[in-house]
Structure 1
């Protein structure tokens, strides 16, 4: 019986070692990425602390309904674009336009200079602008995560401000640390391509194997502690026998 227990313990130890080699790197990356993601408050990561207070819609505004172009409208929202009140018209199929709230006329797409002014106005202390680039909805940078045509206003400090090219909405502020956070988030969920898929076989498989490895390690620790206690009792018994 003792020989059988020894073989079982040896087999469990062998399995634990091989599983440890298999999941060691993912466990290190999960721990490291988790650490990176909690270093800063999430508001700082998202750049929420950089945003200026939104301009209130004038109480005296006599809004004129927008002049629709015949398409089915899903939602209609009144907002401010800088100092200008506008309607945000959402059509079916994720298409959007802006309309002047004072006249109801649909507004043309946002220009580069308008995008820069919107991005500057959305921040408490805008920095020096390095570049202003426009991207199509199907060719947006990874850090935007929106299927919308957008202007990217890049600042000298590494901040990216994304402005919707059709409506003039500020879609996102992406700080340099946000991009670091995003990379480690991709490592954490094992999806560096889209960084959005939190349910796929690779992640589920490694998570399951990691759980088995940790549980097996606790079992081995428990078995080792019992062996040490048994040996200690045996030595104490032998010592008492010799003294008698």
Structure 2
């Protein structure tokens, strides 16, 4: 049961920290403006796409014929800066073709700048740099393939990510989103990819919470079964007379202490604080008393008290329960104040 208590205590601390992070991140999510997080606050309102080519469009079968049988997974018509283009999806990439002429189109840095200028609501001159990224980063983790990174020198440190394959605007990132993303990582406990809800750490935390609830119920039931413990038993607990002697052997006080309580706790309730560095855990051996009657010997008594002193009636007050009238001689000077934080002799 001692091991169960220790594990329950430390696991409670870990779970409490995570609960605090969940509450804090939830509060941050409610405070942040969704428009700022998504970047739409600095995004120009989209206009309806129209077919811009004046002449006839190529048949999409002509585009498919450029590839081998079954190589094209999908082909669709859409607009890019007012220009009608065919978007051809292949197993390993995406190709663009002018829907009117059939010419192959490449999304260059210049074209990426034009796309960014069309989307960005601020001053186009604020575009500071354009660079090509081949591998996904945390800010583009949901996308694969090469991406143009358009850095904008504004107050929000906005960055636009444009697909280098088909020119689609993939993401709008800024400092507000980065703050949101940090707390999102803490919230879902995915400290690497920041997007997986169903990973091992979450599963372990869930089982930890379940175990915490079960062990808490076990400890609660066990507390009712302990002698003199629990609020139900305190109401009907009887008391017994206890005589307290000082180190000189003279009678210091006559008390009535509740049965079932440990001697160190019962004396503390009467204002007699015995020295203790372990808070009554049976580890420091400082709450030594001499009982002038036959008293049970605990494992901690045998471990911390010499054999000859055990024979003389010395016991640890934290391991002795008040069951019958007894006389107790204080082996060390009692103190005032809390023994829980450690009292020097």
Could you tell me the TM-score, scaled by structure 2's length? 0.55
The equivalences for 1:19-38 within 5 A come to 19-38=11-30
Aligned mates of 1:201, 1:188 — CA distance in 2? 15
Give the equivalent residue in structure 2 for 1:149. 146
Aligned residues: 222
Q: Residue 123 in 1 paired to residue 115 in 2?
A: no
Going from structure 1 to structure 2, the CA distance change for 1:32 and 1:220 (only over 3 Å counts) comes to farther
Which sits farther off after the overlay, 151-160 or 194-203? 194-203
**Of 82, 89, 96, which residue of structure 2 is paired with 1:98?**
96
CA contact (8 A) 2:51 2:84 kept: no
Higher relative contact order (CA 8 A, sep 6+): 1
CA contact (8 A) 2:50 2:79 kept: no
Q: Residue 39 in 1 paired to residue 31 in 2?
A: yes
- Unpaired segments of 5 or more residues in structure 1? 1-7, 236-244
- Unpaired segments of 5 or more residues in structure 2? 224-229, 238-345
Which sits farther off after the overlay, 146-155 or 25-34? 25-34
The equivalences for 1:227-242 within 5 A come to 228=231
Q: Residue 51 in 1 paired to residue 50 in 2?
A: no
Structure with the greater alpha carbon radius of gyration: 2
| Secondary structure at 1:76 match in 2 | strand
Give the equivalent residue in structure 1 for 2:9. 17
Could you tell me the TM-score, scaled by structure 1's length? 0.74
Question: Which of the two has greater helix per residue?
Answer: 1
Aligned mates of 2:59, 2:119 — CA distance in 1? 26
Going from structure 1 to structure 2, the CA distance change for 1:31 and 1:196 (only over 3 Å counts) comes to same
Aligned mates of 2:168, 2:67 — CA distance in 1? 23
Once the two structures are TM-superposed, the CA of residue 115 in structure 1 deviates from its matched residue by: 0.6
CA contact (8 A) 2:51 2:83 kept: no
Give the equivalent residue in structure 2 for 1:242. none
CA contact (8 A) 1:55 1:83 kept: no
Going from structure 1 to structure 2, the CA distance change for 1:192 and 1:13 (only over 3 Å counts) comes to closer
Give the equivalent residue in structure 2 for 1:240. none
Q: CA RMSD in A?
A: 3.2
Going from structure 1 to structure 2, the CA distance change for 1:48 and 1:223 (only over 3 Å counts) comes to farther
Give the equivalent residue in structure 2 for 1:81. 80
| Secondary structure at 1:113 match in 2 | helix
Once the two structures are TM-superposed, the CA of residue 110 in structure 1 deviates from its matched residue by: 1.5
Aligned mates of 1:48, 1:221 — CA distance in 2? 52
CA contact (8 A) 1:79 1:88 kept: yes
| Secondary structure at 1:124 match in 2 | coil
